[in-house]
Amino acid sequence: MHPQYIDMIVMATVCLHNLIKSEENLVKAKDRIYCPPHSVDSEDSEGNIIPGEWRQYTENALRDIPPTSKHHATTIAYKQRDKVADYFLTPPGEVPWQYDYVRRGQHRDDP
């Protein structure tokens, strides 16, 4: 895969992570699923690292995924994609610069 595409995938993954984290911050800490309390490393008031619980689950974490004959997204995946897209295209999910960034380098007549 071309490095440019890898960069785009990583940036998209980080954006999705940030979206999920921002939405999950609206939920009580004890009810969080994506990133529950104490799951990631943190710092105490003196700057000491407090290891997160993720460190207990690193063995076999990055195993190869076996190839499959079907490379089509499921209906659930399409629905989730549409939900995320709808979020980013509404005022609560937009950032002020997103349309300028998407349209950069294009000739356009709109203001």
Q: How confident is the model at residue 14 (pLDDT cuts 50, 70, 90)?
A: very high
Q: Which residues of 40-78 are buried (b: 16+ CB within 10 A; e: fewer)?
A: eeeeeeeeeeeeeeeeeeeeeeeeeeeeeeeeeeeeeee
Res 69: pLDDT: 63
| pLDDT tens digits along 69-107 | 666 667 778 888 888 888 888 888 888 888 888 888 776
User: Taking the domains of the chain in order of start, what are their residue ranges?
Assistant: 3-43, 75-103
Res 55: pLDDT: 86
CA–CA distance, 70 with 73 (Å, rounded to integer) = 9
For residues 103 and 38, the model is more confident at 38
Res 71: pLDDT: 61
> What are the CA-CA distances from residue 49 to residues 43, 54, 102 (Å)?
5, 14, 38
Torsion angle of C-alpha atoms 69, 64, 5, 80, degrees rounded to 10 = 60
| pLDDT tens digits along 47-76 | 899 999 988 887 777 777 777 666 666 777
Residue range 33-55: mean pLDDT, rounded: 89
